[in-house]
Structure 1
Amino acid sequence: MTGSIYIDYNKALHKGLKLIKSKENPNFGLLIICGINLGLRIDDLLQLTFDQLKQDSFTIEEGKTKKKRTLKVNDAIKNALKHFEDDITYQLGGSPFTSQKGSVYSVQHINRLMKKYFKGKVSSHSLRKSFGRRVWLNDNQSERALVYLSQLLNHSSTHTTRTYLGIQQEELDNIYMNL
């Protein structure tokens, strides 16, 4: 586990869309949006192609675990992709996560960009954590969400998932107080 923090989902989505629409760094903007909506490790995220993202769902084999995982392309990703339709790389189905030089981003470069665009102790892993936090919050911070996330993120237990997501004891206490 890394020491990186999660980023608020809405803040990350807004930043990603801003980078795309302003053309300041559209490929990195798309990486942010895919990262917070797919929950992949950065090495798996960088392997994706426009052809995969154009589909409603696709299956990958995760690099770290070698497990197959089917991913759904949600509306946030589909809306971001609309801004790339005139891009030749989009039309040919190539890698969406490339630098201005045309090579696929390195993890180090992504980490530098994360620090540039977000405050705090962020890294490429913050996108995956943001996905997890969003799922947990959308399901009313439920134990069920932690069970699903534990499976989805390939954690050994929900305790690991709680720690990973940065869920604090006070938040856990609040669940009981709000019953």
Structure 2
Amino acid sequence: MAEVQAVKEPDTIRLVSHLLTRHHSQQMADIWNIGLNLALRISDLLSIKFSDIEEDRLVLREQKTGKHANIQLNPKALQIIHRIKEEHPSHIYLFQSYRNKQAINRSPRPLTRRAVSKALGTIGEEIKLPLGTHSMRKTRGYHLYKSTKDIARVMKMLRHSSEGVTLRYIGLTQEEVDKDFKELEL
């Protein structure tokens, strides 16, 4: 599996959303935008049920770690969630598979990780940036770190237990750390 990156430029974040809508579907763009705002692993993001959403909070148990996540939903995430619920009131999953013929005759299921990975991969090729299902989570972590410089806060949001893992995960390079030391004079 190829290493994917955080999207570091705000214009590129918006471009990815636009291209997903244009080349794939609004649902793929919604996954991107919700994924950026929740910083969940793709397995947890795709498994969100409307019943996991309590007013303005998402409450779930992470599949990989078993840790409890209680996430405050920001206005952008809430707006997208409400629109999806309004468009698909009978859906159980936030990102429910409903387009292919097989989905009609089976019990409801979320979109697959593979479908999302494929969509992000094609957009990544187009914009010459390695994108994948972890890009949303990495992007959120990177931008939180850049705005706060608080690695402990990023670790808590990503529910990591090591600073080194978090720094590597968000793609913070030695050049960026050096720049921070150089620019901040006390």
Same topology, TM > 0.5: yes
> Is the partner of 1:121 in helix, strand or coil?
coil
| CA pair 174-8 structure 1, distance change in 2 beyond 3 A | closer
Q: Matches of 2:16 and 2:70 in 1, distance apart?
A: 26
Alignment partner, residue 114 of structure 1: 120
C-alpha distance 178-8 of structure 1, shift in aligned 2 (>3 A)? closer
For residue 24 of structure 1, report the CA deviation from its aligned partner.
Answer: 5.6
Structure 2 counterparts to residues 36-51 of structure 1, below 5 A = 36-51=36-51
Which letter maps to 2:142?
R
Question: Counterpart in 1 of 2:94?
Answer: 96
The CA deviation at 1:109 is 1.2
Aligned twin of 2:71:
71
- Count of equivalent residues: 172
For 1:107-129, what per-residue CA distance to the aligned partner results, in whole angstroms no more than 9, with x for missing partners?
Answer: 11111000122332211011110
Asked if structure 1 preserves the Cα contact closer than 8 Å seen for 2:58 and 2:71, the reply is yes
Q: Please tell me whether residue 166 in structure 1 is matched to residue 171 in structure 2.
A: yes
- Pick from 139, 161, 164: which aligns with 1:130? 139
- The Cα offsets for residues 122-150 of structure 1, whole Å up to 9 and x where unpaired, read as 110111101111211221xx1xx211222
CA shift digits 1:8-34 (9 cap, x unpaired): 4733345436756x7961211111111
User: What is the rounded CA distance, in whole Å, between the counterparts of 1:158 and 1:133 in structure 2?
Assistant: 13
How far does residue 60 in structure 1 lie from its aligned partner after superposition?
0.8
Bigger mean CA offset, 45-54 vs 155-164: 45-54
Looking at structure 2, the residues matched to 136 and 2 of structure 1 have their Cα atoms a distance apart, in angstroms, of: 24
Distance of aligned partners of 1:9 and 1:174 in 2 relative to their CA distance in 1, 3 Å threshold: closer
- CA displacement at 1:153 relative to structure 2: 2.0
- In the alignment, the residues of structure 2 paired with residue 136 and residue 73 of structure 1 have an alpha-carbon distance, to the nearest angstrom, of 19
Query: Which structure 1 segments of 5+ residues have no match?
Result: none
Root-mean-square deviation (Å): 2.6
